[in-house]
Amino acid sequence: MFDASTNPGGGTGRKVDSRVMGAGNIAKTAVLLAAIGGLLIVIGGLLGGTTGAAIGLAMGLGICGASYWKSDALAVRSAGAVPISEAEAPRLHEAVREVVARAGTPMPRVYFIDSPQPNAFATGRNPQHAVVAVTRGLLDITDRDELMGVLAHEMGHIRNRDILIGSVAAAIAMAISFVANMAMWASMFGGGGDDDSPNPFALLLMALLAPVAAGLLQMALSRSREYEADRAGAEIMGDPEPLARALLKLEAVAQQTPVHVNPAQSTAYIVNPLRGREAKAARWFMTHPPVEDRVARLRSMQVGGL
């Protein structure tokens, strides 16, 4: 049973907890940025010695800066999301406004993804620069309470200040995958006669291990991020059932609805958007907990936590 009596406005409003969690997530982001900087320096050193390390440092600074300042733009572009006005989607904007009022967060920018798969994500470097994006499929299959439950989950990410971690990790994973592909081609076609040339075996090893490193960086987010957003969403709503019902609907339909999503961005979504071979390839590095576990936790919620 869930008891929302601690907040007459509809949510339990654990502001102290959310501030503490936000500070912790900011620290995690700093560690993540430092990790990518160090990794790119190592990769640069393997590719080109001291000069390569310097180039890696420059790349690291550039990627980290872009990840922080442009995380929202990178995410919405990758998803093919576009801004949607209140005139175009009055039901969606009304639901967002009500959830924002309950959550006590600034109004995010609202984006739309023309995809039949029911899904949603939040992105941005802080609550003042947040974006919430929803798919056509989500609007098609959810009733008002279920839609608000999904939006409350996304507001939970925003209030917990963990959306930047996911955005930074996704940008980093894409960058590392790009560098790994470059290393693969260099190992196959690069010259090996020059003493200053990088060792092709080292390049090949890096090409194989770099994607693993990218996956491990994303795993640093941990599955607890989704559990915490579920809990925050239930508290914002004052009832875990709308989100629980929505998760079951989303998972059931998403499994049958293929969609093309960059694996590096898949962790941003409320349910895993990858299916088939893509899902099998990414299974070891998924940060989404099983939906049945999330629903069980939601439906067993007590005041003060899962």
Give yes or no for residue 77 having a pLDDT over 50: yes
The proportion of the chain whose per-residue pLDDT surpasses 90, expressed as a percent, equals 37
- pLDDT of 89 reads 97
C-alpha R_g of the chain:
21
Specify whether the backbone of 198 is left (phi greater than 0), alpha (psi in -120 to 50) or beta: beta
Give yes or no for residue 8 having a pLDDT over 50: no
Average pLDDT over residues 45-63: 68
Residues carrying an active site annotation:
154
pLDDT band per the 50, 70, 90 thresholds, residue 272: confident
Of residues 93 and 282, more confidence is placed in 93
Of residues 130 and 66, more confidence is placed in 130
pLDDT band per the 50, 70, 90 thresholds, residue 6: very low
- pLDDT of 254 reads 87
Average pLDDT over residues 131-147: 97
